[in-house]
Amino acid sequence: MKIKCARCGCEDPQYFGKDHGICYCRRCISFGRMPVGEPVRKRKIRKPHYIKEACLKFELTPYQKQISAKALQALKNHQDVFIYAAAGAGKTEITLESISWFLKQGKRVCFAISRRQVVLEIASRLQEYYPDLKVTPVCEGYPENYADRFDSDLIVCTMHQLYQYAGCFDLLIMDEVDAFPYAGSEMLETIAEAACRDVTMMLSATPDRKSMEKIEAGQMILCELFRRPHGHQLCVPEIRKCSSALQVIRILKCCRDFLSVKKQVLVFVPRREDVVWMKKVLSLAGKTEGIHSATADKDRIMQKFREKETDILVTTTLLERGITVGSVQVLIYQADHIVFTCASLVQIFGRVGRTFSDPEGTGICFCQKPSQAIRECINIIETMNRSLSDSQKGRTE
């Protein structure tokens, strides 16, 4: 007899353990022990108390409105949607019209994201947009009141936490589907499928092959959102080929040049230990801080950079997503290192030119030889830019 875990869909015999004659799944054991043969307990979230439309302090651009309407139309027809958006194009705002519509119908909505930090950020943004709703972040340490997990109007959680919500949501929005840990995790995919009882809306700047196949097969509706609200093109990174030692010298020089015109610089390095020495070197150019996943006071360092007290911030791929600082220029040391995947590079250069006041900027890949990932990244960004100028032409003609 073939055994299968009802929660994570695991069928691989090596994952099953036995204890007191009861067989259980070890693949999803971090969510609590799940005996084989036991059905997943379906949970219920109370009906949302929806009163008012989302209140935005700004209006969506005509282009955002168009994409938002297209997405909602597909969802109403019970079709899944994939929002392929450039970094900084305002994809969270695109989801609001759909969230409002579902909540108004008394349906349950969840916004799931890979990283905990972003869960908290999105939850507070959604709470601002919907001041009358109870928006609850669900992730490590949250919510403070345990019962809020099921007694809320809108749930914002990490992908992992979806295991608690089997059969709960009519609309499941999944952000950063191309990022760790969701990307490539069959277990999380099965758990997400189980949490959704009607439609999903996926958001990403770099769709994976599986999603593209689903789109081509007509199982998901593609909505492209490449135009940033300020309408400027995305930053296409430059490539500078040289030895690692020379890269350091050139990065130092670039930093000096940027600082002389009052631009802050984000310098990405492949390894945590590189953060330490690179920070020392770049201190010769200006006030420099370093941050990586094991840094103790991340929030303070980020705050100082946002307030422009720091000139240069050295970091690993930790900051590839979710940071918006005006007028920031981006340099990568050893951009041909394997940690810089195509998806990660697209995100990294997406940090450049995100504000209305300074919509353009520079991004440079320092490397010995451009990797496949670097070439693909440039390709993707150029395709997005091309489709922008095509659609602009279309409007003026």
Which of these segments, 23-31, 109-117, 203-211, 303-311, binds Zn ion (CB under 5 A)? 23-31
Question: Which three-class secondary structure state does DSSP give residue 89?
Answer: coil
User: Nearest distance from residue 155's CB to Zn ion, in Å?
Assistant: 22
User: Nearest distance from residue 30's CB to Zn ion, in Å?
Assistant: 10
State yes or no: residue 177 binds Zn ion (CB under 5 A). Answer: no
State yes or no: residue 27 binds Zn ion (CB under 5 A). Answer: yes
Interacting residues of 143 by C-beta distance below 8 A, sequence separation 6+: 136, 137, 149
**H/E segment holding residue 199:** strand 196-204
Cβ atoms of 336 and 369 within 8 Å: the answer is: yes
User: Nearest distance from residue 31's CB to Zn ion, in Å?
Assistant: 8
User: Nearest distance from residue 9's CB to Zn ion, in Å?
Assistant: 7
Among 28, 110, 156, 235, binds Zn ion (CB under 5 A): 28
The nearer residue to Zn ion, 40 or 54, going by C-beta atoms, is 40
Q: What is the DSSP letter of 29?
A: G
φ, ψ dihedrals at 8, nearest 5°? -110, 0
State yes or no: residue 5 binds Zn ion (CB under 5 A). Answer: yes
State yes or no: residue 188 binds Zn ion (CB under 5 A). Answer: no
The nearer residue to Zn ion, 9 or 322, going by C-beta atoms, is 9
Cα separations in angstroms, 190 against 173, 193, 210, 350, 357: 15, 5, 14, 30, 43
Number of residues that bind Zn ion (CB under 5 A): 7
The per-residue DSSP string of 349-372 comes to HTTTT-SSSS----EEEEESS--H
User: Nearest distance from residue 328's CB to Zn ion, in Å?
Assistant: 42
Cα angle, residue 269 at apex, residues 327 and 91 outer, rounded to 5°: 50
State yes or no: residue 192 binds Zn ion (CB under 5 A). Answer: no
Rounded to whole angstroms, the Cα distance separating 350 from 326 reads 12
**From the CB of residue 47, how many other CB atoms can be counted at a distance below 10 Å?**
11
User: Nearest distance from residue 8's CB to Zn ion, in Å?
Assistant: 3
The nearer residue to Zn ion, 5 or 112, going by C-beta atoms, is 5
**From the CB of residue 260, how many other CB atoms can be counted at a distance below 10 Å?**
10
What is the radius of gyration, based on Cα positions, of the chain? 22
Among 25, 83, 86, 312, binds Zn ion (CB under 5 A): 25
The nearer residue to Zn ion, 8 or 96, going by C-beta atoms, is 8
Among 2, 4, 10, 303, binds Zn ion (CB under 5 A): 10
Q: Contact letters (x/-) for Zn ion, 45-64, by CB under 5 A?
A: --------------------
Interface with Zn ion (CB under 5 A): 5, 7-8, 10, 25, 27-28
